[in-house]
Structure 1
Amino acid sequence: MRKPLSILALLMSVSIAQAGPKEDAAQLVERWSKAFADADLDGIVSFYAPEATMIGTFGKVVMTKPEQIRKYFEATILNSPPNTVALQSAETLLIDERTVVLSGFDTISGVMKDGQPYSSLGRVTFVIAKQGSDWKIVHLHRSPLPKT
């Protein structure tokens, strides 16, 4: 009886250890969400590739420089620090072994500087690419969910 259990445990550990690009990309988004919820500015920007582009929730320009992305998140964290970031649903598309698109719906909630609680429902798309041995966000777009 011990032998089959040992083989099963070995097979399970091999399959977990060999997570694919979709799983790797999802883990990056989870780590990004935690850094955002923790208001960890350095952590947030560390997930972006140097050539990343981004359109923020109420953005009116496409950000193309790391300092623009940093400034955007710095303002967001100072004005309305998030408490939670939750991805409600998401679809993951494997473009190739080094590129993944994750699109879905999320909720960001927290308390404004004036003490008022807020909740922001949104649509979000991450494009994540493997650069060297690391997965990085190469594009992020988030927009508010329409009321109707």
Structure 2
Amino acid sequence: MIPLHHLTFAVILMIAVISQSSAQGLDTPEETIAKWRAAVAAADVNAAMTLFAPNASGFATYSRAPISGTSEIRKLYENVLSRLNVPRGNETITISKTMVGESIAIFQITDFIWETVGGQKSGTNGRNTVVLAKVGAQWKIVSFHRSLLPALSQTAPAAEP
């Protein structure tokens, strides 16, 4: 039989290893994307900002020029998310991931970002490209782009085979 103090030590060691893994941010790219989408849906700017690399850059739906760095991204998020009515949400329609080596993940996402206006759900369909890079042990957003998804009648006809 194993002495109780050995079991106690083993349990404490396991907890320390698990805690250190969590503290180091050993998340998967999918977990980082899920956290980002949840932060956007909750209009939690602080939570969203923890997921961006310091030198991240991108384009938002209505931006006229690229934005870069966490201070510009924070301004964008504060501006856009503060204007949405509650309740609100961010529903994923499709999502795909491409890995480039072991340290770059590219996500293509179509979504529906909505808010409640006059008791009715109102929103926009969008298309997103989000690039994550492994920064140390954490997956961080390094580039993003979101634009409105054109209505089906506005898209180009499919190419002939």
**1:104 CA drift (Å):** 2.3
In the TM superposition, 1:1-148 aligns within 5 A as 24-81=28-85, 83-111=88-116, 117-147=121-151, 148=153
**1:78 CA drift (Å):** 1.3
The TM-score with structure 1 as length reference comes to 0.78
Residues 110 and 119 of structure 1 are in contact (CA less than 8 Å); yes or no, is this contact kept in structure 2?
yes
**1:58 CA drift (Å):** 1.5
The percent of aligned pairs where both chains have the same amino acid is: 27
The TM-score with structure 2 as length reference comes to 0.72
User: For 1:39, what is the secondary structure of its paired residue?
Assistant: coil
Determine the C-alpha separation between the residues in 2 that align with 1:50 and 1:24. Answer: 19
Determine the C-alpha separation between the residues in 1 that align with 2:46 and 2:83. Answer: 17
Residues 124 and 143 of structure 1 are in contact (CA less than 8 Å); yes or no, is this contact kept in structure 2?
yes
Aligned length: 125
**1:66 CA drift (Å):** 1.1
**Greater Rg by CA:** 2
Structure 1 unmatched runs, 5+: 1-22
Determine the C-alpha separation between the residues in 1 that align with 2:125 and 2:39. Answer: 19
- C-alpha deviations, 1:87-144, integer Å up to 9, x for none? 21111111110101010211111136x8774211001010001100111000010000
| RMSD after superposition | 1.8
Distance of aligned partners of 1:140 and 1:56 in 2 relative to their CA distance in 1, 3 Å threshold: same
Residues 53 and 64 of structure 1 are in contact (CA less than 8 Å); yes or no, is this contact kept in structure 2?
yes
Moved more, 74-83 or 122-131: 74-83
Determine the C-alpha separation between the residues in 1 that align with 2:96 and 2:69. Answer: 27
